[in-house]
Amino acid sequence: MVLTGFDFFIIILFIVITIALGWYAKSNINNSIEGFFLGGKNLPWYIAGLSMVATTFAADTPLAVTELVAKNGISGNWVWWNMLLGGMFTAIFYAQLWRRSGVITDAEFITLRYGGQQAKWLKKFKAIYLGVVMNSIILAWVNLALMAILEVFFNLKGIELFCFTALAMLLVAGYSALSGLMGVALTDAFQFFIALIGCIVLAILVVNSDQIGGISGLKNALPKHSLTILPSVGNSSEPVGLSIGFASFIAIAGMVWWSSWYPGAEPGGGGYIAQRMFSTKNEKHSFMATFFFQFAHYGIRPWPWIIVALCSVVLYPELGADDTKLGFVMAMKEFLPSGMRGLLLVAFLGAYMSTVSTHLNWGASYVINDVWNPAKNSNHKIVRVSRWVTFGIMILALGVTTQVNSISGVWEFIMECGAGLGLLLMMRWFWFRINAWAEITATVTPFIVYGLLKFVFVHNYPVLDESLSSNPISFFITVGITTFCWVLVSLITKPDAQNHIQKFKDKIYPQGFDDFKKTIPYLFLAWLGGIITVYSFLFMVGKIIFREWSESCLLLVVLILGTYLFYRSAVKGKLIIK
């Protein structure tokens, strides 16, 4: 791809604005852990929410959506759309509780919730596991996506490709280390709008090209089933476009959202999502930021990606099953006019930078707060060491990048090794029989079961759906065994001391735990209303794009009813105060 002077101007302007925002946010660090890792706990809901959305918009996200659509049609997106159920549950039930906890990281929450020496060791283990090991793997995954884009864009290969990626990561680490979370959040908001605008422009250009002929031409060129939003009952193992299997849809939508730990979609919240909750001004801002994240992540962003993905199926039928994700980048390369190439390259660079900056800051927070725990060190030293740790995680992630070859392999590993942990993460707030030993069990068991199913009992269980890249049956087996094990451990081990549990209740439920339980029915109704609101908005936008007016009007009515149910229930559940 040839870039013009105007393209380079856009790229340079983007980098300058990003660095300027980081420099502006530098004054908010205040030489403290809270200043560096939580932005001084002063983020308004819209900045925190945009930061959440931008972080989940990694460079690989449009590519992953393109692959799902190419293999299973629009309904293939239910592989990630189903996670709205867990995300909305987090917003309704946990966002205010996380903010009220007063911790710096979700690893620190472990010693707030559990007592005993085992809780302290679990906190340190999770800090290293999440902040260093898992974080480096995720960053390697994101680096691979950027490398795939650069390879198609500029025909870069080998060491040259790696060096360009390392340079981009160094730039991100620089402003992240300079400004802490406040700089990360501000640049996230800026980068999100650039990335979203770029994808919308690309979708408009591609679908209106002569090769596609607008929406009507796209609909005529594709099988009908590839355009359905809900899965169709039938044999999903037939050629591309017949939709994800109905059995897989029911299984995924009914289990994944509550059962599995996954970065950005942790049941009950956690990771960098929890970090954003901690950083908000107060509990109401925490709830509003998390709700906005769910609405923007699932309701606003997907359609530009989906439109380009559908067009790529028509434009590049020669792509093999392993290369379908590159259809998005090939469309960028072919259809962008001079001047727009820089914008789209900046869009992907912004998506990459927002994800990497968050993970570097988030990972360093575990190391500083939960492993080093610098209670006796000066504030100035805290910030200096935090910056060095940020660069250290960057170097480690680059090293892991050289050892990882498959994005889908990383995705499968993360999903399988968190299977069964999710329910515990949700229930530990309310079921006080759960202790640190139960969480240790839920953390370790998926690794054991995954290893046995992957390397010992290979192919000794049925395949639920050949259209999926991994076998859901192994996931369900892991969930079942893990859940059974941690529940059993909770029942047979000694619970935490009553005074420790009461101290936790007093902090998290100042109005009284019994009073909180009275709001639970309204919170469930608000959860249902929130889900209806987001899904109906998502589907309505799709129907409008495809000019299916009667269905879009019906969905508008559902949207209004869902919004009313959400608002009325949120008020009675004390999430919203009139």
pLDDT of residue 215: 93
Work out whether the CA dihedral 241, 242, 243, 245 comes out positive or negative. Answer: negative
Q: Tell me the C-alpha distance between 266 and 95, whole Å.
A: 12
Q: Tell me the C-alpha distance between 194 and 129, whole Å.
A: 33
Cα 309 to chain centroid distance, Å, stands at 20
pLDDT of residue 1: 55
CB 290 within 8 A of CB 95: yes
Q: Bridge partners of 280?
A: 43
pLDDT of residue 392: 93
Can you spell out the DSSP letters for 233-302?
Answer: SS-TTSSTTS-S-HHHHHHHHHHHHHHB--TT--TT--HHHHHHHHHBSSHHHHHHHHHHHHIIIIIISH
Q: Tell me the C-alpha distance between 341 and 161, whole Å.
A: 19
Q: Tell me the C-alpha distance between 521 and 574, whole Å.
A: 12
Q: Tell me the C-alpha distance between 341 and 2, whole Å.
A: 9
pLDDT of residue 19: 84
**Any idea where the domains of the chain sit in the sequence?**
5-510, 511-578
Can you spell out the DSSP letters for 476-536?
Answer: HHHHHHHHHHHHHHHHHSPPPPHHHHHHHHHHH-TT-HHHHHHHHHHHHHHHHHHHHHHHH
Contact residues for 139 (Cβ-Cβ < 8 A; gap 6+): 169, 356, 359, 360, 393, 394, 397, 400, 401
pLDDT of residue 242: 45
pLDDT of residue 157: 79
Q: What is the DSSP letter of 43?
A: B
The CATH number of 5-510 is: 1.20.1730.10
How confident is the chain (578 residues) per 10-residue block, as mean pLDDT? 75 85 75 84 92 84 86 85 91 94 93 94 92 88 83 79 89 87 88 86 92 92 85 50 55 74 80 92 94 94 93 86 78 78 79 88 92 67 87 92 70 76 93 95 91 71 45 78 95 94 94 90 96 97 94 96 95 74
For the chain, the maximum distance between any two Cα atoms, rounded to a whole number of angstroms, is 71
Q: Tell me the C-alpha distance between 566 and 363, whole Å.
A: 34
Query: Tokens at residue 95, please?
Result: 């966002």
pLDDT of residue 404: 72
